[in-house]
Amino acid sequence: MGSISADKRKMDSDLDNFNDPNTLFGRLRSACANEWHRYSNHDFVRRIGDATLTEHSFRHYLEQDYLFLIHFSRAWALAVYKADTLADMRAAASTLNAILNYEMNLHVKYCAGWGLTEEEMERKNEARANMAYTRYVLERGLAGDVLDLHVALAPCVIGYAVIGKNLATDPKTELEGNPYRDWIEMYAGEEFQNVAKAAVRYLDELAASRMGPGRLESLVKTFRQATSLEIGFWDMGLNMEV
């Protein structure tokens, strides 16, 4: 019992890192508190935690998430182009390679356990909510700079880590016999948590050289819209929207 309590304290500490009001992410999250709450506590998320989400809804979500990853890769390719330094170009290229050649393969293997093949997922049409979010991220990256792009990506990259930890520490979460346990543990796990923490730090690094008068207001607008579109993605999965 003592080790479980220690693990929970560590998880709570990790969550505090994401809540740090002194980071750019913390300021954006605070400015969009209503949207963030609706996103991170969405009915889709809660039903994953208590194992009441229908398998049809989860499969639909997985199919669309596969298509999402394709455009997510394009966003990181854009991050390479938008980067100002060789180090940032290499970092973005490394992430792009990881998504295309590692994460996509893991996703395909995970989906196979749900009876979904890569060929079937490739033939699926993108749901409108999927198109709305992915194209918005690309538009912000094209119209703005690399900071705009990463702020648009933040609700996904950082948000899934926050959601994973929330579910892992929530006493209402049912892990025993939960068909979505692997999903919860993947996003609550150390590897993805470290990715999200790095994203929080990188936002601050980008902001250090790009923040000026009035810039925060623009970034809040981008973060709010991206978070709202993530809410729409959950709606799509829950209601099996196309």
Residue 133 near residue 241 (C-beta atoms within 8 A): no
Between CA 228 and CA 34 the distance in angstroms is 10
Q: Is the dihedral of CA 193, 88, 212, 145 positive or negative?
A: negative
Smallest Cα–Cα separation from 146: which of 99, 194, 208?
208
Question: How many other CB atoms are found less than 10 A from the CB of residue 140?
Answer: 24
Find the catalytic residue in 63, 111, 156, 217.
156
Q: What are the distances in angstroms from CA 163 to CA 77, 131, 176, 184, 192?
A: 26, 22, 19, 8, 11
Residue 152 near residue 137 (C-beta atoms within 8 A): yes
In the residue annotation, 230 being an active-site residue is answered as yes
DSSP 101: I
In the residue annotation, 156 being an active-site residue is answered as yes
DSSP 127: P
Per the rule left: phi > 0, alpha: psi between -120 and 50, beta: everything else, 176 is beta
Find the catalytic residue in 32, 35, 111, 230.
230
Catalytic residues: 156, 230
